[in-house]
Chains A and B, each alone.
Chain A
Amino acid sequence: MRLSSVQIFQQGINAILNQQSSLQQTQLQLTSGKRVNTPSDDPAAAVQILALGERLSAVDQYQRNADFAEGQLAREETTLASVGDRLQRVRELVIQANNATQSAESRRAIATEIDAQLEALVALANTTDTNGDYIFAGFQTDEIPFVRQGNVVTYQGDDGQRFVQIADGSQVAVRDSGASVFQTIPGGQDVFTTLQEIVDVLNSGMPTEVNTVLEQSLTNLDQTMEHLLEVRADIGVRLNQVDGQREINESFTLQLQETLSEAQDLDYVEAISRFNLQLTALQAAQQSYVKTQGLSLFNYL
């Protein structure tokens, strides 16, 4: 086939330009460490990378939420443990007071201590978290939930429970309302009323009624403490749930990162050998161009 002089030149130059362009593309991949630098490099992978980035960020947030949930539940747990200890003490005092050897004086002394325990329990029921929110107030966390006026303790909160999202479609309750913990005791009455009754009867100094009331109060106390244990058990279950979910989130994060790396990261071994190949090809194109350009019949005329 006949070639024009311009064509000979053009073919040589095109070979060099093409090699330069491929080399530059490989160089870009090597410096960025990424196989996919623009969506057009691999559109399907580009979308996958976007989606994986989103998932990783979401799971990260869920882990933060799980940490928060754990903190809240731990606080509730320790508070209720203290409540349980104090109720245990009250129980001992009640048994002591029920003894026939007690005098009106000694009973009044016991009443004073039980009254102090009652105050302490109200204070525990008004525990706040690190943000200053009352944890047993339902939704009205800015207002003190339990108010003692005279010998009546009123609950000013509501039944609301706060949930925290620890995974897609998985929420865990991190607060229980004051009503559900201290007041709504299945088959019994609320704990403050029970304690107030004990204090009142011990202060009244009427021996005949004391025994009946104290017997009934013991039953009430037992029901309260059992209810408390149930609540604490439920909190324990939820703490387990949070822990379990945190582990799942961790291993999911690892999986996501692996998939992201596969989609996005450059295979350095393949890229470097490709780079060397292209470098050699470019050198060959340049050298062959120089050799052929020097040939002309006019050199011999």
Chain B
Amino acid sequence: MADLLGIGATSLLSLQQALNTTGHNIANANTPGYSRQQVDFSTLPAQLKGDFYLGSGVQVDGVRRVYDQFLIDEVRGRTASQSNFESFHTLASRLDNLLADSATGLGPVLQNFFNAMQDVANNPGSIPERQVLLGEANVLADRFHYLDNAFASINDEVNSRLEVLVSEINSLAANIAELNNDIARATTLGGGQPPNDLLDARDQLLNELSGKVGVTTVEQSDGSLNVLIGNGQPLVIGAQASRLQTFSDPYDGSRLVVGYASPSGHLTDIGRFLNGGEIQGVLDFREQVLQPAINQLGLVAAGLTATFNQQHRLGIDLNGQPGGDFFNPLSATVAAHGDNGGTGSVAVTIDDVSEITASDYLLRYDGSQYQLTRLSDNTTQSGAGPFVVDGMTITPSGSPAVGDSFLIRPTGNAAGLFDVIVSGPAGIAAAAPLRDSTTASNSGSAAINDLAIADTGSLPLAGSITLTFNPDALGAGIPGFDVAGIAGGPLAYDPASESNGKSFTLGDISFSVSGVPASGDSLVIENNLDGSGDNRNALALAALQTEKLLDGGLSSYQDVYGNLVADVGVKTHQAEAGMTTENILLQQAVEARDSVSGVNLDEEAANLIRYQQAYQASAQMIAVANELFQTLLNATGR
């Protein structure tokens, strides 16, 4: 039955809940992820008194979180994006700072090396200049190694970040699974009433998880939340959490990848499916910035080695020996996939370093033929091999199993393996192997120019080559040079029309003749014995610095390095701009969520006063009810 005392009692009890809830809000004003809670009042069912209804007081329907699911999801999504950009930017800045100081970069060292080459060209017979050149060459090698090591340590940092992230994701997933369990139980126990604090805690964990890896959630009927990552891989299903793992890249043991182990133990790499969060930033950095930088640096090293060696082999050193290789010859690396079942293998030769790119290549056997993919732009070629592409010849052999694949990296390890192998100062080939002369008794003006040899394999010449001008060399009235000492003569030459210059080739030797010879005049080509003052090959080596020898003839060594620096700079700059935008968007999302769910202490203070007044009024109500009863008692008392 409703009466003033009863109403007062319900009022006091309800207001106590309200005051407690307000106190709970104030206490948790700084708890991350807390949504303010409100008490829902409703009237108790009215009672029929005769022909009218009399109210019977107030009841508490429940305590509810004030929240907007859309805003919570928005914050989660933005957290994932912002963490992605931030971790990408942090790692890219590492590389950016590494390349920032021009004194520790490659540019000045490359320059000093070629300057030293010029000094050798000025004084080819002198040992001190050659020693300086060797010194600068070793400094160059050291600088390549330093940069390569710096890249490798950033790679190590990427690996350890992945390990930490995976363990954090696993522990967050385990916690969310536990909360799912608790929430399901609490919801059942509470008869459908939401366990607000547990729900807030789970939202907070999901937020943290989004910072590590982007997630999507699916709500279940019992109140638990399934969490999926990537393109549908399950992370938390009800009260069960899966475990992510890191394991070695099947092509390259120095890199870690992220994935699942199936019940049978087979490891699947899901890195390319992951979307959002720190982990995407780390993986994208490695693929889009670090790996291309390593390959690009390798291209400078491999390009310099191949082109410099090629020219050096065409010269002779202070001992008259052919120059040989100045730098350690480099080759492409081939890595077989760790799960390859067959016995196939792949050999790669680099034929034309000017066509080499900074991309990696994948070769897959599908059972009947091979498919070659260039990873920078995903263009493919199929066939039985060998493949001639981008300056390489790729020759598969053996018996691969279906699905076997190989990763081909033309320049990946070039910077680390770059080395000086020339034997010493005397081994530097500054001179050219052949020289020409005009016989002193010549009365004409003919001379040889541009004497060159394509391959020093046929040297030294067995004897000198003599060209004697004969007006009837090729028949009556057809002038030219009779050739002695090598096959290939006679050479037609008409001074009347060709005296400006005419090119000839005899075996590997090429040259041109100009001027007007008299009958019987001779020109001689001979081995350059004791030619220690000859600097022709040194000049040619020094000239390599400015020639566009790489990137299909578009870039010099400095240009390729410059492209590397620009690439890293641009990507870091873009990441910075992206991160700034994401920071603002995240801030806005958090503000929007907080404006609905956040605790405002002034508002809670006002609520305290409101409920306190109502409580005082209710207490007064009971006092009045008591007095009424006393009056009634006194009225009927004897």
Chain A interface residues (CB < 8 Å from chain B): 1-7, 10-11, 14, 37-44, 46-47, 49-51, 53-54, 57-58, 60-61, 64-65, 68, 131, 133-134, 137-143, 155, 158-160, 162-165, 168, 171, 175, 179, 183-184, 186-187, 190, 296-298, 301
- The answer to whether B609 touches A165, judged by C-beta atoms less than 8 angstroms apart, is no
Instruction: With both chains docked as a complex, state the minimum distance between the C-beta of B446 and any C-beta of chain A, in angstroms.
Output: 12
Given contacts A140-B533, A184-B440, contact A6 B122 (CB under 8 A): no
- The answer to whether A4 touches B125, judged by C-beta atoms less than 8 angstroms apart, is no
A54 CA to B560 CA, complexed, in Å:
13
In the complex, which residue of chain A has the Cβ closest to the Cβ of B570?
A: A43
- The answer to whether B609 touches A301, judged by C-beta atoms less than 8 angstroms apart, is yes
Contacts of B569 in A (CB 8 A): 38-43, 46-47
Residue of B30, B96, B123 near A131 (CB, 8 A) is: B123
Contacts of B107 in A (CB 8 A): 50, 53-54
Contacts of A64 in B (CB 8 A): 118-119
Given contacts A2-B596, A139-B533, A141-B533, contact A57 B562 (CB under 8 A): no
Instruction: With both chains docked as a complex, state the minimum distance between the C-beta of B486 and any C-beta of chain A, in angstroms.
Output: 19
Contacts of B598 in A (CB 8 A): 2-7
A25 CA to B193 CA, complexed, in Å:
53
A142 CA to B558 CA, complexed, in Å:
37
Given contacts A57-B111, A57-B115, contact A164 B121 (CB under 8 A): yes
A100 CA to B1 CA, complexed, in Å:
170
A60 CA to B119 CA, complexed, in Å:
12
A57 CA to B92 CA, complexed, in Å:
30
- The answer to whether A160 touches B543, judged by C-beta atoms less than 8 angstroms apart, is no
Instruction: With both chains docked as a complex, state the minimum distance between the C-beta of B106 and any C-beta of chain A, in angstroms.
Output: 9
Contacts of A68 in B (CB 8 A): 122
User: 8 closest Cβ contacts across the A-B interface?
Assistant: A4-B598, A39-B569, A141-B533, A43-B569, A139-B531, A40-B572, A139-B534, A159-B437
- The answer to whether A160 touches B595, judged by C-beta atoms less than 8 angstroms apart, is no
**Contacts A6-B30, A131-B126, A159-B435 given; 17 further ones with Cβ under 8 A?**
A2-B595, A4-B597, A5-B599, A14-B587, A39-B96, A41-B569, A43-B565, A46-B569, A47-B565, A51-B562, A53-B108, A54-B111, A134-B533, A139-B530, A143-B530, A165-B121, A301-B609
**Interface 1/0s, chain B 428-445, versus A by CB < 8 A?**
000100011110101101
Instruction: With both chains docked as a complex, state the minimum distance between the C-beta of B549 and any C-beta of chain A, in angstroms.
Output: 15
Contacts of A39 in B (CB 8 A): 96, 99-100, 565-566, 568-569, 572
**Interface 1/0s, chain B 161-204, versus A by CB < 8 A?**
00000000000000000000000000000000000000000000
- The answer to whether B558 touches A6, judged by C-beta atoms less than 8 angstroms apart, is no
Contacts of A138 in B (CB 8 A): 435, 531, 533
Contacts of B287 in A (CB 8 A): none
A64 CA to B563 CA, complexed, in Å:
30
Contacts of B438 in A (CB 8 A): 159, 179, 184
Given contacts A158-B531, A298-B601, contact A179 B440 (CB under 8 A): yes
In the complex, which residue of chain A has the Cβ closest to the Cβ of B89?
A: A40
- The answer to whether B532 touches A142, judged by C-beta atoms less than 8 angstroms apart, is yes
- The answer to whether B530 touches A51, judged by C-beta atoms less than 8 angstroms apart, is no
B264 is an interface residue with CB less than 8 A from chain A: no
Contacts of B18 in A (CB 8 A): none
Residue of A2, A49, A137, A168 near B546 (CB, 8 A) is: A168
Contacts of B114 in A (CB 8 A): 58, 61
In the complex, which residue of chain B has the Cβ closest to the Cβ of A140?
A: B530
Q: List 29 A-B contacts (CB under 8 A).
A: A2-B596, A2-B598, A3-B600, A7-B590, A14-B587, A38-B99, A39-B100, A39-B568, A40-B93, A43-B565, A50-B558, A51-B558, A54-B107, A57-B108, A134-B533, A138-B435, A138-B533, A140-B531, A141-B125, A142-B530, A143-B530, A158-B531, A162-B534, A163-B539, A165-B118, A165-B539, A171-B539, A186-B445, A301-B609
A61 CA to B121 CA, complexed, in Å:
12
In the complex, which residue of chain B has the Cβ closest to the Cβ of A162?
A: B535
Contacts of A49 in B (CB 8 A): 102
Contacts of A143 in B (CB 8 A): 530
- The answer to whether A38 touches B533, judged by C-beta atoms less than 8 angstroms apart, is no
In the complex, which residue of chain B has the Cβ closest to the Cβ of A5?
A: B601
B450 is an interface residue with CB less than 8 A from chain A: no
A301 CA to B598 CA, complexed, in Å:
22
Residue of B96, B528, B563, B601 near A40 (CB, 8 A) is: B96
Contacts of A162 in B (CB 8 A): 533-535
In the complex, which residue of chain A has the Cβ closest to the Cβ of B36?
A: A4
- The answer to whether B111 touches A58, judged by C-beta atoms less than 8 angstroms apart, is yes
A168 CA to B431 CA, complexed, in Å:
21
A214 CA to B29 CA, complexed, in Å:
122
A37 CA to B572 CA, complexed, in Å:
13
B290 is an interface residue with CB less than 8 A from chain A: no
A175 CA to B125 CA, complexed, in Å:
14
**Interface 1/0s, chain B 566-605, versus A by CB < 8 A?**
1011101100100000000001001100111111111001
B623 is an interface residue with CB less than 8 A from chain A: no
Instruction: With both chains docked as a complex, state the minimum distance between the C-beta of A169 and any C-beta of chain B, in angstroms.
Output: 9
Residue of B105, B435, B442, B595 near A7 (CB, 8 A) is: B595
In the complex, which residue of chain B has the Cβ closest to the Cβ of A8?
A: B600
- The answer to whether A6 touches B539, judged by C-beta atoms less than 8 angstroms apart, is no
- The answer to whether A133 touches B533, judged by C-beta atoms less than 8 angstroms apart, is yes
B606 is an interface residue with CB less than 8 A from chain A: yes
B491 is an interface residue with CB less than 8 A from chain A: no
B542 is an interface residue with CB less than 8 A from chain A: yes
Most buried by B among A39, A49, A162: A39
Instruction: With both chains docked as a complex, state the minimum distance between the C-beta of B530 and any C-beta of chain A, in angstroms.
Output: 5
Instruction: With both chains docked as a complex, state the minimum distance between the C-beta of B59 and any C-beta of chain A, in angstroms.
Output: 28
Contacts of B595 in A (CB 8 A): 1-4, 7
Contacts of A158 in B (CB 8 A): 435, 437, 528, 531
Contacts of A60 in B (CB 8 A): 115
A137 CA to B97 CA, complexed, in Å:
53
Instruction: With both chains docked as a complex, state the minimum distance between the C-beta of B518 and any C-beta of chain A, in angstroms.
Output: 12
- The answer to whether A160 touches B531, judged by C-beta atoms less than 8 angstroms apart, is yes
B481 is an interface residue with CB less than 8 A from chain A: no
B545 is an interface residue with CB less than 8 A from chain A: yes
B561 is an interface residue with CB less than 8 A from chain A: yes
Given contacts A39-B569, A140-B532, A160-B534, contact A61 B115 (CB under 8 A): yes
- The answer to whether B29 touches A6, judged by C-beta atoms less than 8 angstroms apart, is yes
In the complex, which residue of chain B has the Cβ closest to the Cβ of A44?
A: B566
A60 CA to B30 CA, complexed, in Å:
65
In the complex, which residue of chain B has the Cβ closest to the Cβ of A175?
A: B533
Given contacts A40-B96, A54-B107, A297-B606, contact A7 B30 (CB under 8 A): no
A59 CA to B591 CA, complexed, in Å:
59
- The answer to whether B533 touches A43, judged by C-beta atoms less than 8 angstroms apart, is no
Contacts of A155 in B (CB 8 A): 440
A58 CA to B115 CA, complexed, in Å:
7
In the complex, which residue of chain A has the Cβ closest to the Cβ of B591?
A: A7
In the complex, which residue of chain A has the Cβ closest to the Cβ of B30?
A: A6
Given contacts A2-B600, A40-B573, A54-B111, contact A139 B100 (CB under 8 A): no
